[in-house]
Amino acid sequence: MSAVSKKFSDISVGECTQFEVVVTEELVDAFAKLSDDFNPLHMDEVYAKKTAFKGRVVHGMLGGAFFSRLIGMHLPGARSLYLSQSLSFRKPMRIGMEVIVSGTVLHKADSLQTITLLMQVSDKGSGEVLTDGEAIVKML
């Protein structure tokens, strides 16, 4: 898959892009290996069932990784440098969920060649926002 390559002038406030991901056990296992985060809340169903979550919860930062994919590959794509990201974990992401990862342009700063995006990971089934935040991206 090759990245979209938009110019600053091609981007409009209100522009939105999204993609869908099925959160699989293999994806969670790969993220655990990459991050070296094997917290039993993420990896051990027996343990996780005894918590307030009543089952395994996907690493919250996997949603952050989805945001990186959206910025680097979709909006704005290849001509971007990720400067900052705020994150709020609203609801747990679970294995088996189909999620929608979206980014909407909130602001453009011409002098700095930056855009601010509202980022969201939502459960496709319920529409509930699982993770959200704002990203600031510099256009190269």
DSSP conformation letters of 50-93: TSTTSS----HHHHHHHHHHIIIIISSBTTEEEEEE--EE-S--
Annotated domain spans of the chain? 11-139
What pLDDT does 78 receive?
Answer: 93
Q: What pLDDT digit, counting tens, does each position of 34-91 carry?
A: 999 999 999 999 999 999 999 999 999 999 999 999 999 999 999 899 999 999 999 9
Structural tokens at position 79: 């001509």
3-state helix, strand, coil in the chain (%, to 5): 25, 35, 35
pTM: 0.94
Is the pLDDT score of 1 beyond 90? no
Domain 11-139: give its CATH code: 3.10.129.10
Whole-number Å distance between alpha carbons of 26 and 47: 19
